[in-house]
Chains A and B, each alone.
Chain A
Amino acid sequence: MSVFDMIGPIMIGPSSSHTAGAARLGQLARSILGGQPVRARILLHGSFAETGAGHGTDLALVAGLLGLGPDDERIVDAFQLADAAGLQYNFERVDLGRVHPNTVRFVLEAGDRRVMVTGSSVGGGRVLVTAIDQFPVELSGEYDALVVSYLDQPGVISKISSLLAMDNVNIAQMRVSRAEKGARALMILEVDQPVADEVQRIIGRLPVIDALVAIPRVIGQKGGETE
């Protein structure tokens, strides 16, 4: 833990879990969609549903979807900004069962893209995306990441990891999940260095790859949260 996690983060109040974490979950969901959503259903579970409004969780989630970070003073104006940006959103209460009390599920749409992202604010502003569509994942936002959707078959993992290795990108964490053998699969790669656009394009053009999105980290940026 860094000194600047202890005396920090710099954030919009009032709660690291209900406000800062919520903004980060919104940012990650936006990145996973691959850009600005046009429509967002926001399903609130547990404490997010119970005390969310008093903590500005609703504002912070929408702010995150607009790309604003946890230290952005425009969070309080998020609803007006969403209207101006053409983002339609609504909130619903939901019981997602045995999940973390601070959990949100986004259903995001933009053009023909649609994605469902489930994530939790796990304390101190740290977050964990736990599902993308039907696939269980673990994405902390503490690393740059790639989310790759592909058709499950031998050799895909080694192909991607060798392309990254050639560009000197080190894989910190990797997780693969699939609906069933040979079906659509999802690979989450958390990496120590950002992946160059050119390498992303090469991976994205591999025949078995459906989609690739890069997820910039939302926690622990060098130089601090003030930027």
Chain B
Amino acid sequence: MKITSVAQLVEAANARGCSIAEVVIAEEARVSGSQPSQVMDRMVGVLQVMRAAVERGLSGEVRSRSGLTGGDAARVWGTNRSLAGETINHAISRALAVSEVNAGMGKIVAAPTAGSSGVLPGVILTIGEQLGADETTMARALFTAAGIGLAIGAQATLSGAEGGCQAECGSAAAMAAAAAVEMAGGTPEQAAQAAAIALKSSLGLVCDPVAGLVEIPCVKRNALSAVNALAAAEMALAGVKSAIPADEVIQAMGEVGRMLPEALRETARGGLAQTPTGRRIAEEVMGRNSGGQ
């Protein structure tokens, strides 16, 4: 069973009386010719890389080579003026942490991309902490996320150059929302609803990186996408449904991506990249680089 849609994942899970994660684990074991336990062990290893990146970012010692980003994760983590509560604060901090490590040439898991690598660790490690979940439960949630990501890849795109930021951070939010729902004991249908709600809320988000670097605004959009995922999961677990089914939202995302002008798809020729400040920063970064070689 090649994974091609969210509806197919939900149907398969319902037919087998299991979670989306279990369907994805079985499929991966089949395709790779390994045992489900081996596939799970490998994902636990992936989760450990995510956790190490979070810890490194939260130390506050990471700076990017351009000097544009770093240190904000520690700032949010250590704040004594939290308005949003611990869960949201921790999800934001962890997502920022991984994104800062990514910008600082540290080791991360591209999930689904390097530019959106903060979202899943932000959500899964935070919900895991809140639920007191073990490594296996969190690794299983990464399979839920992967299933949604594969369904997005089959029907739209996960590349900012093709679909804008909605394809990267938006997809990561949808993947994380579904994962959070399954971790919290929600049904496959509720996981699908959460993915739909999170992706709907990201539609149209452009990819407009200042100086073409994966820093401004990418690092903060990772944090916002983690919060988007938590909000979507909160609604779906309470029984809220998306009027538009997940697969149609995914196809709409692909369609919106194709309608986006190239200037808003990772070329740094529009949006924030072309604001006066964005251009000034770009000139400074380029100047430093050409002087440095």
Whether, in the assembled complex, A142 has its beta carbon less than 8 Å from a beta carbon of chain B, the answer is no
The one of A4, A7, A16, A50 in contact with B114, judged by C-beta atoms closer than 8 angstroms, is A16
A91 to B290 Cα, complex, angstroms = 11
Whether, in the assembled complex, B42 has its beta carbon less than 8 Å from a beta carbon of chain A, the answer is yes
A143 to B108 Cα, complex, angstroms = 24
Instruction: With both chains docked as a complex, state the minimum distance between the C-beta of A100 and any C-beta of chain B, in angstroms.
Output: 12
Q: A7-B43, A11-B107, A50-B212 are in contact. Are A19 and B112 (CB under 8 A)?
A: no
Whether, in the assembled complex, A166 has its beta carbon less than 8 Å from a beta carbon of chain B, the answer is no
The one of B101, B212, B289 in contact with A13, judged by C-beta atoms closer than 8 angstroms, is B101
Contacts of B28 in A (CB 8 A): 2-4
A-facing mask of B100-125, CB < 8 A → 1, else 0?
Answer: 01111111111111110100100000
Whether, in the assembled complex, A211 has its beta carbon less than 8 Å from a beta carbon of chain B, the answer is no
Whether, in the assembled complex, A75 has its beta carbon less than 8 Å from a beta carbon of chain B, the answer is yes
Contacts of B45 in A (CB 8 A): 224, 226
In this complex, how many residues of chain A approach chain B with their Cβ under 8 Å: the count is 38
User: For residues 57 through 103 of chain A, which have their beta carbon under 8 Å from a beta carbon of chain B?
Assistant: 58-59, 71, 73, 75-76, 91
Segment of B84-92, B140-148, B190-198, B200-208 engaged in the interface with chain A: B140-148
Whether, in the assembled complex, B132 has its beta carbon less than 8 Å from a beta carbon of chain A, the answer is no
Q: Is B215 touching A14 in the complex (CB atoms < 8 A)?
A: yes
Q: Is A56 touching B105 in the complex (CB atoms < 8 A)?
A: yes
Q: A13-B105, A54-B289 are in contact. Are A3 and B110 (CB under 8 A)?
A: no
Q: Is A3 touching B114 in the complex (CB atoms < 8 A)?
A: no
- Please give me the residue from chain A that is nearest to B268 by CB atom: A51
A55 to B105 Cα, complex, angstroms = 8
User: For residues 18 through 76 of chain A, which have their beta carbon under 8 Å from a beta carbon of chain B?
Assistant: 19-20, 47, 50-51, 53-56, 58-59, 71, 73, 75-76
Instruction: With both chains docked as a complex, state the minimum distance between the C-beta of A87 and any C-beta of chain B, in angstroms.
Output: 17
Contacts of A56 in B (CB 8 A): 65, 105
Whether, in the assembled complex, B64 has its beta carbon less than 8 Å from a beta carbon of chain A, the answer is yes
Q: Is A6 touching B153 in the complex (CB atoms < 8 A)?
A: yes
A55 to B212 Cα, complex, angstroms = 9
Instruction: With both chains docked as a complex, state the minimum distance between the C-beta of B44 and any C-beta of chain A, in angstroms.
Output: 11
Whether, in the assembled complex, B127 has its beta carbon less than 8 Å from a beta carbon of chain A, the answer is no
Q: Is B105 touching A54 in the complex (CB atoms < 8 A)?
A: no
Question: What range describes how many residues of B lie at the interface?
Answer: 35 or more
A42 to B56 Cα, complex, angstroms = 32
Whether, in the assembled complex, A216 has its beta carbon less than 8 Å from a beta carbon of chain B, the answer is no
Contacts of A47 in B (CB 8 A): 212
A65 to B10 Cα, complex, angstroms = 46
Whether, in the assembled complex, B80 has its beta carbon less than 8 Å from a beta carbon of chain A, the answer is no
Instruction: With both chains docked as a complex, state the minimum distance between the C-beta of A26 and any C-beta of chain B, in angstroms.
Output: 15
The one of A7, A11, A123, A226 in contact with B145, judged by C-beta atoms closer than 8 angstroms, is A7
Q: A51-B211, A51-B212 are in contact. Are A13 and B114 (CB under 8 A)?
A: yes
A8 to B139 Cα, complex, angstroms = 13
Q: A14-B64, A51-B211 are in contact. Are A9 and B110 (CB under 8 A)?
A: yes
Whether, in the assembled complex, B238 has its beta carbon less than 8 Å from a beta carbon of chain A, the answer is no
Instruction: With both chains docked as a complex, state the minimum distance between the C-beta of A219 and any C-beta of chain B, in angstroms.
Output: 13
Whether, in the assembled complex, A130 has its beta carbon less than 8 Å from a beta carbon of chain B, the answer is no
Whether, in the assembled complex, A136 has its beta carbon less than 8 Å from a beta carbon of chain B, the answer is no
The one of B66, B149, B214, B293 in contact with A7, judged by C-beta atoms closer than 8 angstroms, is B149
Q: Is A1 touching B39 in the complex (CB atoms < 8 A)?
A: no
Whether, in the assembled complex, B285 has its beta carbon less than 8 Å from a beta carbon of chain A, the answer is yes
Q: Is A55 touching B110 in the complex (CB atoms < 8 A)?
A: no
Q: Nearest 6 A-B pairs (CB), nearest first? A: A13-B102, A51-B212, A53-B289, A14-B214, A6-B149, A3-B146
Cross-chain pairs A/B with CB under 8 angstroms, 25 sampled? A2-B28, A3-B39, A4-B42, A6-B145, A6-B146, A6-B149, A6-B150, A6-B153, A7-B43, A9-B110, A10-B49, A10-B107, A13-B117, A16-B110, A19-B105, A19-B114, A53-B65, A53-B292, A54-B211, A54-B213, A54-B289, A55-B213, A75-B105, A223-B42, A224-B45
| B interface list, Cβ under 8 A from A | 24, 27-28, 31-32, 39, 42-43, 45-46, 49, 64-66, 101-115, 117, 120, 142-143, 145-146, 149-150, 153, 159, 161, 211-215, 268, 285, 289, 292-293
| A interface list, Cβ under 8 A from B | 1-4, 6-16, 19-20, 47, 50-51, 53-56, 58-59, 71, 73, 75-76, 91, 123-125, 222-224, 226
Q: A4-B43, A54-B289, A73-B106 are in contact. List 9 more A-B contacts (CB 8 A).
A: A7-B142, A7-B149, A8-B110, A10-B46, A11-B114, A12-B105, A15-B114, A16-B110, A51-B268
